[in-house]
A and B are shown apart, each in its own frame.
Chain A
Amino acid sequence: MSKGILYDATLCIGCKMCEKACAEHNGLPYDDSVAAESKQSEHKFTVVLTENDKFMRRLCMHCEKPACASVCPVGAFHKTALGPVVYDVWKCIGCRYCMVACAFAVPKYEWGSLNPRVRKCIMCPDLIKRGEATACAQICPTGATKFGERDQLLQEAQDRIAQNPGNYVPHIYGKDEVGGTSVFLISSVPFEQFGYPEIAKIGDKALPEYTGVIMEKVPDFIPLWALVLGGIYWLAHRKDEVAQAEAMEKQGGVA
């Protein structure tokens, strides 16, 4: 079954333990200066944002139908059956289409490297495969970040909002956004305040469908268009042949 992450901002205390655990698990440096950085980058895959006394995590949403995987010319990204959207660095040619295509602007680039990689949260696929929770969920002291079955987490998010409607904005972020994601967010303040794009803007349609309507026509278009072009060629040159035949006939008639 597909796994997922539920982040409940109302339980978060902003301790940034998830940031640290994430950095450690991914072999990235983490110190006070990194902790102070408030945006995702090639060395910081998740970030806890603070505004007044409210918190919000940013991380890869692990879309059900990820744009990054659909646009990659060499298929360096793919959605695994367990839920994570993972990256095969050895395939990557560095076109950065994934970065442009992602509605959440999650993939980041190693701009200073001579052999740059795209970096993002990959939902600890090694841990998940062993049946463990992601590093961020394991370390979370309050249960704000919870790892589990995607369907169950969605149900739980609905229940939490239903039981405490005053505590939450009535929206599960990730349920419908770009066709649904494997990461769900619930919060007492609107998600846009922390830079998450509104569903009114990004829509509930899976992004690959926007190009799919064109791409699925290509296999039919090729033979059809070749036939049309060949036909035009034949027709346009036919008048020469006819003219030539007529000229020959005339010559024959005279002789």
Chain B
Amino acid sequence: MKITGIKVTFWNVVFAIIMVLGVYSAYVRYFKGIGAVSNLSDQFPWGLWIGFDCLCGIMLAAGGFCISGAVYLFNVERLHSIIRPVILTAFLGYCLFIVGLLVDLGRPWFIWHQLIYMNPHSVMFEVGMCVMTYTTVLFFEFLPNVLEKFHLQWPLRIVKGVMPFLIVAGILLSTLHQSSLGSLYLIMPSKLHPFWYSPALPFFFFGSAIAVGLAMTIFESTQSAKAFGRHLEFSVLVELGGALLIALWVNALLRFEDFYHRGMLTKIIQPSYEAYFLWLELLLAFVIPITMLSFKKVRLSPKGLYLASISAILGFVANRLNISITGFETWAGHHFVPKWTELMITLSIIAMGFFLFGMAVKYLPIYEHGEGVAEAQPEPQRVRGELPKASHVAT
């Protein structure tokens, strides 16, 4: 069935419904106020929008700096074929994070105040500046797609010339703000539940960003292969799966060490409201994916890798929601359940992400690098030098 050129599929209908409800919620947000659209209150000034749109959004977009670091910094050529979709995901992720922020901020029209009334003691200031700069960096990392599309050769050469600096700047900025998202909570030792409050929060946030960056790349590559009928670069996924296993182990050990040193080990095994949420998080983030990936059979199966990475992603999303919501419920004295309009804003932002990703893949050379200048980095020597490229996976 077709309506004026748009195919009516199940997902298109779902998308349309979410967007309509999202637009309605945005109307309530901007014409009736945050109080009318959400269940945020003086006890819960930060809820789903900060917990999911911001904390999780930034984490889910971490693939950008993980993979660009591996490819450009550590020169892991095997991953080159996935760099463009990963950069696209990161760029979209950060843009949508900013959209989420414009909803959550009480006075979004003053967001630029950050640039003139700077408070260098504020973690939020640091996060804001880093996110702003990094989104700009991602824009330039993404730009070659557009320039190639329109055959603009000389700006393309300029962007590619400064690419090494962009990459290093991108990783530097990511290190800072990924960890600083955790530092945001350091100032609330009496409010955040001791299961989640730890002086090591910045390290956890950085570590989980890397694990989720890898897991998201596996998830998204598999998903794109399905959705766009693309050939799956399987050896790349296997490689990422191995890296994910290591990242998960490092994260798990960090968490264990932290629980051990803060004397929490005996407390987290006793059933309590918070413990149930903690168990859920640990199960999804560590127990399931680590067990799965420990089997070679799973590491070598596309479906196994896909499911393990979904579990890891859900686990770390649960972790950040626990930190931002569950961990404050005891202090606030009541549970936080987002209002449906609040949820619709978040869902429509996610839906927008899927839509824009699809559009970009459709109209930009994300998967088919054309023009003979496909490599996002000028490396003429490499071609002449005839490097052994046994492990390189062709698209």
Contact = CB atoms under 8 A, between A and B. Distances in A.
Interface of A: 41-42, 67, 70-76, 91-97, 99-101, 103, 105, 108-109, 111-116, 197, 201-203, 207-208, 210-212, 214-215, 218, 221-222, 225-226, 229-230, 232-233, 236-237, 239-241, 243-244, 247-248
Given A111-B35, A236-B75, A215 B126 contact: yes
B73 A232 contact: yes
Given A93-B108, A100-B45, A114-B31, A201 B190 contact: yes
A244 B31 contact: no
A109 B107 CA distance: 12
Contact of B187 (A67, A76, A111, A247): A67
A74 B113 contact: yes
A97 B124 contact: yes
Contact of B106 (A70, A93, A207): A93
B176 A115 contact: no
B381 A211 contact: no
A105 B42 contact: yes
Interface residues of B, number: 62
Nearest to A251: B386
Contact of B128 (A42, A71, A73, A211): A73
Interface string B115-131: 00111111111101000
A222 B176 contact: yes
27 contacts: A70-B121, A70-B122, A72-B119, A73-B125, A74-B118, A75-B119, A76-B117, A92-B107, A94-B108, A96-B46, A97-B124, A99-B45, A111-B41, A115-B107, A208-B187, A210-B186, A211-B186, A214-B180, A218-B126, A225-B175, A226-B172, A233-B168, A240-B379, A240-B387, A243-B387, A244-B382, A247-B386
Contacts of A247: 385-386
A212 B176 CA distance: 15
Contacts of B172: 222, 225-226, 229
A28 B108 CA distance: 26
Contacts of A202: 189-190
B117 A215 contact: no
A72 B125 CA distance: 8
Interface of A is mostly: helix
B35 A91 contact: no
Nearest to B129: A73
Given A93-B107, A94-B105, A233-B164, A71 B46 contact: no
A109 B125 CA distance: 20
Interface of B: 30-36, 40-43, 45-46, 72-75, 104-108, 110-111, 113-114, 117-126, 128, 164, 167-168, 171-172, 175-176, 180, 183-184, 186-191, 199, 202, 379, 381-382, 384-387
A243 B385 contact: yes
A207 B187 contact: yes
A99 B105 CA distance: 13
B111 A93 contact: yes
Given A208-B187, A210-B189, A247-B385, A237 B75 contact: yes
User: Most chain-A Cβ atoms within 10 A of its Cβ — which of B75, B121, B167, B202?
Assistant: B121
B124 A248 contact: no
A42 B125 CA distance: 25
B63 to A, nearest CB: 18
B273 to A, nearest CB: 19
Nearest to B381: A244
Contacts of A232: 73-74
Contacts of B199: 210
B30 A101 contact: no
A203 B164 contact: no
Nearest to A239: B75
What 6 pairs across the A-B complex have the smallest Cβ distances? A94-B106, A111-B35, A244-B385, A236-B75, A75-B119, A73-B125
A23 to B, nearest CB: 18
B202 to A, nearest CB: 6
Nearest to B387: A243
Contacts of A115: 106-107
Contacts of A211: 121, 123, 183, 186-187
Contacts of A240: 75, 379, 381-382, 385, 387
Given A93-B113, A225-B172, A225-B175, A109 B42 contact: yes
Nearest to A232: B73
Contacts of B118: 74-75
Given A93-B111, A114-B33, A212-B121, A233 B73 contact: yes
A109 B46 CA distance: 12
B335 to A, nearest CB: 17
Given A73-B119, A215-B121, 17 more contacts: A41-B42, A67-B187, A70-B187, A71-B124, A71-B187, A73-B114, A73-B122, A74-B110, A91-B113, A93-B108, A99-B42, A202-B190, A207-B187, A214-B180, A222-B176, A244-B381, A247-B386
